[in-house]
Amino acid sequence: MKILGIETSCDETSAAVVDHELCLLSNVVLSQDEIHAPYGGIVPELASRRHIRSIAYVVGECLECSGLRIDEIEAFAVTQGPGLIGSLLVGLSFAKGLAYTHGRPLVPADHLESHIYSAFIENRDITYPILALLVSGGHTSLFELKGPLNFRLLAKTRDDAAGEALDKIAKFLGLGYPGGPVIDRLASEGDPERFPFARPQMSDGSLDFSFSGFKTAGLRQIRKLGITRAHPDFLDFIASFEAGVIRALLYNLDQAIHHVEPRSLILCGGVARNSKLREQFLELAENRGVPGYVPSPELCTDNAAMVAALAHEKLKNDHSPGLDLTLNAYSRR
Ligand code: KG4
Ligand code: ZN
């Protein structure tokens, strides 16, 4: 079965095709970074308008790269939510149109579940139960999967996502948008131990994350020390802030490992592109004797390959999928 996935939940327009063995035949991602960069963050109205302009081109390009004709696609899949509602509606409407016109089923995909299934594209035999740490610009969550598609949310952020904290600190320092990749690059040249950032702790002992206080502590330090690009401590500050975020993420992951005793660990989401987070996640996995999986960087940030991968798993379990034209987008999970 050839599945064409579509993803437009935020500011990437993407389409991808996988085959029955989950081989990725094509994955086209059109970023809108340059449109939102002058505003230092995503402008939802601009994002949805750009999706409208790009979607047909991206799907056409994706088909061309896959070497398939549209009538060879046996199922369509699309992100239903969570995300920006205007952006989601563009992908959802386009996918409904394709499925209806070609008489094929349409598989709805949850964005967070798709991120987790991105790990299966390069590793088909990840064993359950799985503990997944999903870190992106909009989400920071821990999921347990006892079996295929059996998701249990163990923890989430109570305020900002980790990527959001990185992006906001970068914006404040005038480092551009998105800030995560810039911080990743600059942090490699600084001393991560120079400025200690206290790990956020939940008073109720839950595994939930919190990055808002953390971000405020960073902003306070910037003002107090007068950190700018020209400041001699600039790189050390960036490295220390990034290290603090990573420490908070991996501390909770480690706690969760003790609770659920998984047989595999997955790290996914846009922030999983971060070089130090990837390294330290794999180190932790090795120390705990649990295999750790991190998708290639291009499969961590938003892409349609992961949507098709989730749909692939759903279709394995549903032998008569249909087309529900009343499907609606949702902004929150
Ligand atoms: O998964 P994603 O593409 O979109 C959401 O679902 O939110 O994640 C985007 C986030 C942004 O916050 C961006 O700054 C961050 O991923 N990001 C990174 C890196 N590359 C992207 N954060 C740290 N290091 C990176 N190399
Ligand atoms: Zn995402």
Looking at residue 318, its pLDDT comes to 86
Among the bound ligands, the one closest to the CA of 271? 1
Looking at residue 201, its pLDDT comes to 84
CA distance 59 to 17: 10
Looking at residue 8, its pLDDT comes to 98
Looking at residue 166, its pLDDT comes to 97
- Residue with the smallest CA separation from ligand 1 atom 8 is 270
Sheet containing 151-156, strands listed edge to edge, beginning at the edge strand earlier in sequence: 151-156, 140-145, 130-135, 264-268, 292-293
Looking at residue 289, its pLDDT comes to 98
CA distance 262 to 274: 23
Q: What does the mean pLDDT of the chain come to? A: 97
Flag whether pLDDT at 106 surpasses 90.
yes
* Percent residues over pLDDT 70 in the chain: 100
Looking at residue 266, its pLDDT comes to 99
- Distance of CA 112 from the midpoint of ligand 1 (Å): 14
CA-wise closest residue to 80 among 305, 312, 333, 306: 333
- Distance of CA 163 from the midpoint of ligand 1 (Å): 6
- Distance of CA 275 from the midpoint of ligand 2 (Å): 18
Q: What residue ranges define each of the domains in the chain, with the CATH number in brackets?
A: 3-117+303-316 (3.30.420.40), 128-299 (3.30.420.40)
At 319, the pLDDT band (50, 70, 90 cuts) reads confident
- Distance of CA 326 from the midpoint of ligand 1 (Å): 32
Q: Does residue 301's CB lie within 6 angstroms of at least one atom of ligand 1?
A: yes
Mean pLDDT of 139-165: 97
Looking at residue 320, its pLDDT comes to 81
Instruction: Give the contacts of 328 (CB within 8 A, at least 6 positions apart).
Output: 80, 92
Q: Does residue 295's CB lie within 6 angstroms of at least one atom of ligand 1?
A: no
Amino acid present at 40: G
Burial tier of 68 (Cβ tally within 10 Å: 0-12, 13-18, 19+) = middle
Flag whether pLDDT at 202 surpasses 90.
no
Looking at residue 199, its pLDDT comes to 87
Q: What is the pLDDT of residues 28-69, one digit of tens each?
A: 999 999 999 999 899 999 999 999 999 999 999 999 999 999
- Distance of CA 47 from the midpoint of ligand 1 (Å): 16
Looking at residue 126, its pLDDT comes to 98
Q: What ligand 1 atom has the least distance to the C-alpha of 164? A: 12
Q: Does residue 200's CB lie within 6 angstroms of at least one atom of ligand 1?
A: no
Q: What is the pLDDT of residues 221-248, one digit of tens each?
A: 999 999 999 999 999 999 999 999 999 9
Looking at residue 311, its pLDDT comes to 98
Looking at residue 205, its pLDDT comes to 85
Ligand 1, pocket-test mutation among 301, 302, 307, most atoms within 8 A of CB = 301
Instruction: Give the contacts of 23 (CB within 8 A, at least 6 positions apart).
Output: none
Q: What is the pLDDT of residues 283-305, one digit of tens each?
A: 999 999 999 999 999 999 999 99
